[in-house]
């Protein structure tokens, strides 16, 4: 009797456990929400100019919002007058410096020739004085002392001329080097100006859709347009490859264990309920972040690729993702 009661209790327990397990086991599809984005996107920025740190750039031409572009199409063009003016000024400066260097070289050559002549004459004076010194034994004492003094003066003058000659050459080389440094700087500035001028046109790197970025103007965010001034490095246009789109969705920690890479999904656009696209989970974020409503519930990023394309399938649209269990 006891054995039968124990057996009945075990069967009841197993039945209850299996019933509870069936109730705890999730049923139905998992639904996620997220935002549509392009797999490939390139931000077209205002160029950073070499040799310049200040000053904004003025947009003279800009692609139309939503325009379909192909590789090589002009996206944005900036005013290049400052760069052309800088290049013109540097060319004029280079011509002037070249003339200064040529004139300085000629003047230094003439001065060197003059100094060498004077130095040679001083050396001859020393040799002449030494020859006169050989007569001292035959000359009166006064004349001999005059010859000795003349030799000393000639040698002192030769030493002074040699020292002065060396100092003049050092000073001449320094003057010429200063002009050469100014010339090198002007050449570098000219190269920068020419490079900067070539950066004033930015073209599409690949086929896609042109999405104009926004900027803060008159206390509100508005689209960038022709005539605006932008700082170097500022993003102007996004080129979006609409042929390959995906959804960046969020999944809470309760659902993440039931999601796997490669699982099939159905993607629906909130703004266009009649549209749906097949999709596939391509990646699941390994780290969770605190949710918006509770710090105890963490959410994970899930990337879902969208199969197919449609004119209404655009970036920044909100979407829902349905994942079958």
Between 310 and 248, residue with greater pLDDT: 248
Residues 101 and 197: their CA atoms lie apart, in Å, by: 29
Query: Please, which pLDDT band fits residue 140 given cuts at 50, 70 and 90?
Result: confident
Helices (H), 237-277: 253-256
- DSSP E strand stretches across the chain: 30-38, 41-45, 57-62, 68-69, 74-78, 201-203, 208-212, 214-217, 220-223, 229-230, 235-240, 245-252, 264-269, 276-284, 289-290, 298-306, 318-323
Contacts of residue 203, defined as CB under 8 A and 6 or more positions apart, other chains included, come to 71, 72, 73, 74, 75
Q: Is the pLDDT of residue 255 over 50?
A: yes
Model pLDDT, residue 19: 40
Answer for the pair 171, 34: CB distance below 8 angstroms, yes or no: no
Model pLDDT, residue 292: 63
Region 128-137: mean pLDDT is 86
Sign of the alpha-carbon torsion through 66, 70, 71, 77: negative
* Backbone Cα Rg of the chain: 44
- DSSP E strand stretches across 170-297: 201-203, 208-212, 214-217, 220-223, 229-230, 235-240, 245-252, 264-269, 276-284, 289-290
Residue 120 C-alpha from the chain's centroid:
61
Contacts of residue 90, defined as CB under 8 A and 6 or more positions apart, other chains included, come to 186, 187, 189, 190, 193
Sign of the alpha-carbon torsion through 102, 106, 109, 112: negative
Answer for the pair 253, 300: CB distance below 8 angstroms, yes or no: yes
| Residue 255, both tokens | 């659902």
Answer for the pair 75, 69: CB distance below 8 angstroms, yes or no: yes
DSSP class of 205: S
Q: Which residues face 209 on adjacent strands?
A: 68, 240
The DSSP code sequence of 271-306 is S-TT-EEEEEEEEE-SS-EE-SS-TTSEEEEEEEEE
The model's pTM: 0.66
Residues 222 and 186: their CA atoms lie apart, in Å, by: 41
pLDDT digits over 285-324, tens only?
Answer: 888 777 666 666 788 899 999 998 888 888 889 999 999 8
pLDDT digits over 22-74, tens only?
Answer: 444 456 788 999 999 999 999 999 998 887 656 789 999 999 998 999 999 99
Answer for the pair 291, 301: CB distance below 8 angstroms, yes or no: no
């Amino acid at each position: 009797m006891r054995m039968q009661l124990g057996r009945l209790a075990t069967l009841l327990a197993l039945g209850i456990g299996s019933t509870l397990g069936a109730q705890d086991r999730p049923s139905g599809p998992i639904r996620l929400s997220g935002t549509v984005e392009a797999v490939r996107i390139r931000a077209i920025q205002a160029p950073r100019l070499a040799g310049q740190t200040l000053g904004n750039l003025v947009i003279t031409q800009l692609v139309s919002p939503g325009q379909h572009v192909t590789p090589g199409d002009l996206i944005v063009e900036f005013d290049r007058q400052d760069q052309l003016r800088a290049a013109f000024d540097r060319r004029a400066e280079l011509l002037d410096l070249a003339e200064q260097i040529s004139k300085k070289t000629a003047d230094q050559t003439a001065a060197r020739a003059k100094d060498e002549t004077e130095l040679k004459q001083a050396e001859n004076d020393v040799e002449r004085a030494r020859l006169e010194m050989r007569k001292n034994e035959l000359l009166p004492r006064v004349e001999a002392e005059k010859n000795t003094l003349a030799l000393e003066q000639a040698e002192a003058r030769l030493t002074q001329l040699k020292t002065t000659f060396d100092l003049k050459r050092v000073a001449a080389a320094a003057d010429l080097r200063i002009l050469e440094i100014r010339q090198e700087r002007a050449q570098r500035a000219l190269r920068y100006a020419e490079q900067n001028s070539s950066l004033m046109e930015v073209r599409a790197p690949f086929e896609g859709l042109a999405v104009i970025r926004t900027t803060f103007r008159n206390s509100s965010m508005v689209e960038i347009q022709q005539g605006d001034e932008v700082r170097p490095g500022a993003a102007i246009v996004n080129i979006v490859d609409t042929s390959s789109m995906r959804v960046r969705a969020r999944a809470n920690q309760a659902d993440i264990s039931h999601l796997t890479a490669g699982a099939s999904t159905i993607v629906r656009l909130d703004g266009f309920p009649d549209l749906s696209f097949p999709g596939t989970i391509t990646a699941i974020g390994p780290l969770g972040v605190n949710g918006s409503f509770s710090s105890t519930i963490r959410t994970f990023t899930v990337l879902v690729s969208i199969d197919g394309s449609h004119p209404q399938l655009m970036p920044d649209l909100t979407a829902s993702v349905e994942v079958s269990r």
